[in-house]
Structure 1
Amino acid sequence: MEKMNPNHPEKGSSIKVDPITSLKDVANLKKLLEDNPRDLALFVLGINTNLRAVDLVQLRVEQFIDARVGDELVLKESKTGKQRRITINNAVLTAVKPWAVQCRDQEQELVFTGRDGGPMAPNYVNKLVKKWCAKINLKGNYGSHSLRKTWGYHQRVTFCVDIPTLMEIFNHSCQKQTLDYLCIQPQEIKDVYMNEL
């Protein structure tokens, strides 16, 4: 009998990954990656945008070389085919621009390349995220989609962005889909009942 790959769900099911909910864990991951400019750029870009791994690995060096805070990345989403506009914040620029300069100096067109010079494989991004989270002993299930979920989680919890806005940004068809996606925690529901009138 053929052995199932644990990273591939059975047809009709899915594997859920967790967001990185602790800002301390986010800081620890940045510290872990500070000596690896490519991995730091990938992590910071992933948690500061809601791009899927398949779209992160298509980003081009030219999009960052002359970029400034507030500029927009314009790209076509692989999954939906829709055009996306992502605003570059300071964290992204600080982490990605130096790596993009190194890539340009090595005559690379893509920011995140594989061994063959083409785009890094999304499943490799998945392995990297799992490895990083394991190195800081994060408990839970993590993968490339954790970067996107971390962005959404902190937009909602840390920055208090409302669900309808996040629903629009994620291109979800209903608020329930967004709530499920953002991993509403049981403790959050319990805390609501502690609010006294």
Structure 2
Amino acid sequence: MRKGNPNHPKKGSSIKVEPIRNIKDIKAIKKLLENKPRDYCLFTLGINTNLRASDLLRITAGQVKDLKPGDEIEIKEKKTGKFRRITLNKACIKAIQKLLKSRQYEDHEPLFIGQRGPLTVPSVTRLVKSWCKAINLKGNYGSHTLRKTFGYQQRVRFNVPLPLLMETFNHSSQKETLNYLCIQEEEIKSIYENEI
């Protein structure tokens, strides 16, 4: 009888991926990708929006080619089927423009194309893992890391209120959002550091 991969999670369980917590690590990955327009754009859009990888991969060149910072795109979420409006900041627009200049795009083509066609979620997971490994980042990372990094940085760096993030991620409780962003343990631990 053949044994499966011992590192593979048991059926029904899941592996939790982490956000990228330190700005220096985000900067290191951006530097690593600065001469790879596709990967740079994927990373930048991923950490500046709350889109899942499956939704990032559905963005077409035509949807974003004429956008300016502050403009919105409308995405139909693959997981929920709901329409979501996303505002793109300056970093996103700059990365998109750099990517669009790197090759010829038809309007209907997805932004993120590999050698064998459009990127897939497993290929995004492999890319994120390779970027994190290249900068010696310890932990478990994958495609969801991008979305989690967005939320983590919004909460920790920009002090975005939890109810707002909860709404952004379409979560049913603040506890779910804290858990999703891998924040809860940190915040609870920090309480004990308060001297009375």
TM-score (norm. length: structure 2) = 0.92
Secondary structure of 2:98's counterpart equals helix
Q: Which amino acid in structure 1 is aligned with residue 145 of structure 2?
A: S
In 1: Cα distance, 2:105 partner to 2:89 partner: 25
Secondary structure of 1:73's counterpart equals strand
In the other structure, the counterpart of 1:3 is 4
In 2: Cα distance, 1:60 partner to 1:107 partner: 9
In the other structure, the counterpart of 1:110 is 110
Deviation at 1:174, TM superposition (A): 1.4
In 1: Cα distance, 2:186 partner to 2:79 partner: 33
- Residues 1:78 and 2:78 are matched in the alignment: yes
Deviation at 1:73, TM superposition (A): 1.2
In the other structure, the counterpart of 1:63 is 63
In 2: Cα distance, 1:101 partner to 1:110 partner: 15
Q: Which amino acid in structure 1 is aligned with residue 125 of structure 2?
A: N
Q: Which runs of 5+ in 1 are unaligned?
A: none
Q: Which runs of 5+ in 2 are unaligned?
A: none
- Residues 1:127 and 2:126 are matched in the alignment: yes
Q: Does the 8 A contact of 1:57 with 1:112 survive in 2?
A: yes
Q: Does the 8 A contact of 1:65 with 1:101 survive in 2?
A: no
Superimposed CA distance per residue, residues 135-156 of structure 1 (whole angstroms, 9 cap, x where no aligned partner): 0000100111000000000000
Q: Does the 8 A contact of 1:19 with 1:146 survive in 2?
A: yes
Coordinate RMSD, CA, aligned: 1.8
Deviation at 1:5, TM superposition (A): 8.2
Q: Does the 8 A contact of 2:37 with 2:102 survive in 1?
A: no
Deviation at 1:113, TM superposition (A): 1.8
In the other structure, the counterpart of 2:160 is 161
Deviation at 1:187, TM superposition (A): 4.1
Deviates more, 1:183-192 or 1:130-139: 183-192
In 2: Cα distance, 1:152 partner to 1:123 partner: 21
Q: Which amino acid in structure 2 is aligned with residue 34 of structure 1?
A: E
In 2: Cα distance, 1:2 partner to 1:194 partner: 46
Over the matched positions of the two proteins, sequence identity in percent amounts to 56
Aligned pairs, how many?
194
In 1: Cα distance, 2:87 partner to 2:105 partner: 26
Q: Which amino acid in structure 1 is aligned with residue 64 of structure 2?
A: F
Deviation at 1:62, TM superposition (A): 1.1
TM-score (norm. length: structure 1) = 0.91
Q: Which amino acid in structure 2 is aligned with residue 91 of structure 1?
A: A
In 2: Cα distance, 1:102 partner to 1:35 partner: 10
